[in-house]
Chains A and B, each alone.
Chain A
Amino acid sequence: MTALARYRIILPVVSLAVLLAATFYMQPRAMSYFGLNLLFNLAVPIALATIAQMMVIMVNDIDLSLGTFVSLVACITATFLHDTPLLGAAMLLALILSYAALGALIHTLELPAIVVTLGMSFVWGGLALFILPSPGGTSPVWLRTLMTVKPPFVPMAVVASVIIAAVTHLLVIRSGIGTVLRGVGGNARSVARAGWPLVRLKALAYGLCGLFGVLAGMALVGLTTSADANIALRYTLLSIAGVILGGGEFIGGKVSPTGAVIGALTLTLAASFLSFMRLSPDWQIGAQGAILILVLTARLIFSRKGSVA
């Protein structure tokens, strides 16, 4: 049984390692500080978005608005946070709070999260268009500096991923409140029966999603230096795929923050890998889908073996 628990994290690690090895084989020059930086350049915002999605999946919901939300944050970061930092920060804080309020609303009225977040995706997208009708804006200097910092030995993207994984692991798996939140996903009734206010827990999970969504949007602008209203639309699907690739499950509060970060890295790498393969651009999207299917097939085979053993 412990092997079964362990494989949950082994498989994401192995798939990342295999993909990394294949990339190095195709392009040995990637095996360097600079190469790694290039490969994982965009991993940080994706990893943060994946963690954000995981917070909601942890309590058995799903967020279909994350991509538009990250886009909106990017637009605010590139405009208000740059021009009037205080106002910008207040807006971002308000966004996090509105996520928490959304969680409370979804719980209190027993609304289907998939639909409410679907509606919210129109709202976030509209606000983003409103703030930044055409691509533009500028990243705050400090953010740019932070995202392009060059730590010794290991590139920034890798260091940041490790930090994100460590912090969220502590928060979700080790800490008491993280345990209770996972309990909500596992058996909400028993958590409520033990006297926990479910509304606040749901709001907390959604608030955390909002927080990591905001961080993702900011990190994205720090890397791209400007924003547009559609900059992160694909993050919705990428983040869901990342959580699942990382060994998470849609129901039952079974999530792994480390796995989610690794899943995000795998997805980022997959894109870089395909361009190294000089694949016709026609097939790049399709190949990403194929890799997703492949990894999940491997997971099925492993879990079958795990349950037999």
Chain B
Amino acid sequence: MTLLAKPWIWSWLAAAIAFGLTLALTSGRGAGELAYAALSFGAFAAIVGMGQMLVITLGPGNVDLSIPATMTLTATLALKVMSSDPGTALLGLAVALAVGLGAGMANFALIFLLRLPPIIATLAASLVYQSLAIWSNRGLRIKPPEGLADFSTGRFLALPNVAWVALALAVVVWVVLERTVWGRWLLAAGQNMRAARLAGVPVEMVRAATYLAVSVFAGLAGYLLASFSGGAALNMGAEYLLMSIAVVVIGGTSIAGGASNVPGIWGAALFMFLVVSMLNSYGAGAGVRSVLTGTIIIAIVIAASTRRVRA
């Protein structure tokens, strides 16, 4: 009962069902491979999803639409700096995080100085980032340094390295939200910005830090994804716009703000991958796959909401 009351349980249940249904077709063969793939691909969705979660926790109207463009831009610039030279992985990481930080600052500057609604500010900024990425990329596909490529596709203790990174990040985010003063401030600001300010919460600092964090997360995801898939592509971030929002919501974070849910993000990230592979293995075409994915997202949101109403 108490377990069912946890908002994150639903995304894990859904992921488990999708996992089970896929394996039912192969009568259990390939479970390890499927789980491994889900953890690998889910890691990227989890990283951007946690960033988006922090922003959505800030309350209604807060969302970052620039995640895909930031991912592409950071990946492009990081790979350019590394130019496939061995031993530059950390330099590349530093560049990726710095570019992410810069994008976050630009986003927040637009929101704070021009008082734009975050949707519009991050949308407009993302157009600029996209142009920057196109301009700096010039259609070249630079390979990541070999060591980095090996790391991002490698494994440690049977789990993909990228999943370890995302898990570590999840632990950090969880601690920040549940145990730190800053996390409390974020949750307070998300419930009622004005009341939080009058209660002494430095709300602008909280907002700024959140928008910086989401872009840094996007930068990290872009860096890892490009290393994982052998180079940056201009559309590499595209699917992560809807993905980042979807995992937040399926994961049980309140879209109205003020309540976050880290474990749910992971469940939802795994689910989003597993449901596609499930439909694939049942031979569904792209159209059907998309329709079913959408229907499932809505069904989960409805299930979560009726549970909430009854509670």
Query: Do A and B have CB atoms closer than 8 angstroms in the complex?
Result: yes
A130 lies within 8 A of chain B by Cβ:
yes
Cα separation A63 to B290 with both chains bound (whole Å): 18
> Which of A112, A284, A287: most chain B Cβ within 10 A?
A112
Tell me the nearest residue of chain B to A233, going by C-beta: B238
Q: A114-B245, A296-B120 are in contact. Are A123 and B291 (CB under 8 A)?
A: yes
A289 lies within 8 A of B298 (CB)? no
Q: A111-B305, A285-B127, A300-B114 are in contact. Are A122 and B249 (CB under 8 A)?
A: no
A111 lies within 8 A of B123 (CB)? no
B180 lies within 8 A of chain A by Cβ:
no
Chain B residues within 8 Å of A240, by CB: 119-120, 123
A112 lies within 8 A of B249 (CB)? yes
Q: Which of A122, A251, A287 is close to B297, meaning CB atoms less than 8 Å apart?
A: A122
The distance from the CB of A116 to the nearest CB of chain B, in whole angstroms, is 6
Q: A240-B119, A285-B130 are in contact. Are A109 and B306 (CB under 8 A)?
A: yes
B131 lies within 8 A of A120 (CB)? no
B289 lies within 8 A of chain A by Cβ:
yes
A282 lies within 8 A of B124 (CB)? no
- Interface size counted on chain B using CB atoms at 8 A: 47
Cα separation A289 to B66 with both chains bound (whole Å): 12
Interface on chain A toward B: helix, strand, loop, or mixed SS?
A: helix
Cα separation A282 to B234 with both chains bound (whole Å): 12
B294 lies within 8 A of A286 (CB)? no
Number of A-B contacts defined by CB within 8 Å: 140
A286 lies within 8 A of B132 (CB)? yes
B288 lies within 8 A of chain A by Cβ:
yes
B293 lies within 8 A of A287 (CB)? no
The distance from the CB of A57 to the nearest CB of chain B, in whole angstroms, is 11
Contact with A along B68-92 (1 / 0, CB 8 A): 0000000000000000000000000
B120 lies within 8 A of A241 (CB)? yes
A122 lies within 8 A of B291 (CB)? yes
Q: A241-B123, A250-B119, A282-B131 are in contact. Are A115 and B288 (CB under 8 A)?
A: no
A35 lies within 8 A of chain B by Cβ:
no
B-facing residues in A117-162 (Cβ within 8 Å)? 118-130, 133
Chain B residues within 8 Å of A122, by CB: 242, 290-291, 293-295, 297
Cα separation A288 to B130 with both chains bound (whole Å): 11
A115 lies within 8 A of B245 (CB)? yes
B301 lies within 8 A of chain A by Cβ:
yes
Cα separation A109 to B63 with both chains bound (whole Å): 22
B156 lies within 8 A of chain A by Cβ:
no
Cα separation A120 to B306 with both chains bound (whole Å): 19
B-facing residues in A191-237 (Cβ within 8 Å)? 237
Q: Which of A110, A114, A123, A290 is close to B128, meaning CB atoms less than 8 Å apart?
A: A290
B301 lies within 8 A of A115 (CB)? yes
Cα separation A240 to B291 with both chains bound (whole Å): 24
A126 lies within 8 A of B286 (CB)? yes
B291 lies within 8 A of A127 (CB)? yes
Cα separation A127 to B306 with both chains bound (whole Å): 27
Q: A116-B298, A119-B298 are in contact. Are A289 and B249 (CB under 8 A)?
A: no
Contact with A along B270-311 (1 / 0, CB 8 A): 000000000000000111111111111110011001100100
Chain A residues within 8 Å of B115, by CB: 300
Cα separation A28 to B132 with both chains bound (whole Å): 31
Cα separation A250 to B117 with both chains bound (whole Å): 8
B116 lies within 8 A of chain A by Cβ:
yes
A293 lies within 8 A of B110 (CB)? yes
B127 lies within 8 A of A283 (CB)? no
Nearest 10 pairs of A and B residues by beta carbon: A286-B131, A122-B294, A289-B127, A126-B290, A126-B291, A130-B287, A129-B287, A119-B297, A123-B294, A112-B255
List 15 A-B residue pairs with CB atoms under 8 Å apart, sorted by A's residue number: A112-B249, A112-B301, A115-B245, A118-B245, A125-B290, A126-B290, A126-B291, A241-B120, A241-B124, A283-B131, A285-B131, A286-B127, A289-B127, A290-B127, A300-B115
